[in-house]
Chain A
Amino acid sequence: EVQLVESGGGLVQPGRSLRLSCTASGFTFGDYAMSWVRQAPGKGLEWVGFIRSKAYGGTTEYAASVKGRFTISRDDSKSIAYLQMNSLKTEDTAVYYCTRDHGEMATILPYWGQGTLVTVSS
């Protein structure tokens, strides 16, 4: 059974950093692209970024709203995906979901974690 468990959320001040982790199990982690999607309180879904599988270079893409501030990485040996968030803003407050793709490229999202809440506030 595919399982994705996010951790690392919490309350952080504006301008500070936070790193989220997504621990995966139930599948060969390195074979799949991983995405992060967020949802601000009472709002819709917003794609944050993704990391392709190593077979596709392990390269990353980001939404314009986080580009240059957020970094996605992966450790295939530990089956963990990371979301490093720097220079956090109040508008980054959201539930952050880790997702596993249908395949090696970021296309279809059949698997989601339960989400972790990040609150950016002074």
Chain B
Amino acid sequence: DIQMTQSPSSLSASVGDRVTITCQASQDISNYLNWYQQKPGKAPKLLIYDASNLETGVPSRFSGSGSGTDFTFTISSLQPEDIATYYCQQYDNLALTFGGGTKVEIK
């Protein structure tokens, strides 16, 4: 199975800061990588699909990049409503795998 290593596990940043989260796959997954946001007590929400495509209705301060094994998720200017846990997720023909999550807090 493909393993996803996400880092950091948590971070604290100020409003307006640029925030970056990375996700590394244990083998080449091309661009089959999605990013989700989960707020406490809520279901996850899809933000980015296929590594760099912004889901409809998602603010443009969210972006993703990468291919192969190394991926990056960026919030260009952190807002108070972005406080959440973020997960990467890969897919191949036989399974889906989530990263361990990154909890983002306001400093």
| Interface residues, chain A, with chain B CB atoms under 8 Å away | 35, 37, 44-47, 50, 61, 63-64, 97, 102, 105-110, 112-115
Contacts and interface: CB of A to CB of B under 8 A. Distances in A.
A109 B34 contact: yes
A112 B45 CA distance: 8
Given A44-B101, A45-B87, A107-B91, A112 B96 contact: no
Most B Cβ at <10 Å: residue of A50, A97, A110, A115: A110
Given A64-B1, A106-B91, A109-B34, A45 B98 contact: yes
Interface in B76-102: 85, 87, 89, 91, 93-101
Contact of A47 (B45, B93, B96): B96
B50 interface: yes
Contacts of B34: 108-109
**Which interface class (under 10, 10 to 19, 20 to 34, 35 or more) fits B?**
20 to 34
Interface string B25-54: 000000010101010000111100110000
Contacts of A46: 98
B89 to A, nearest CB: 7
Contacts of A47: 89, 95-98
A113 B43 contact: yes
A108 B56 CA distance: 14
B17 interface: no
Contacts of B95: 47, 61, 63
B87 A107 contact: no
By Cβ-Cβ distance, the 8 closest A-B pairs, closest first, are A112-B43, A47-B96, A45-B98, A44-B101, A107-B91, A110-B46, A108-B49, A61-B94
A73 to B, nearest CB: 18
A108 to B, nearest CB: 5
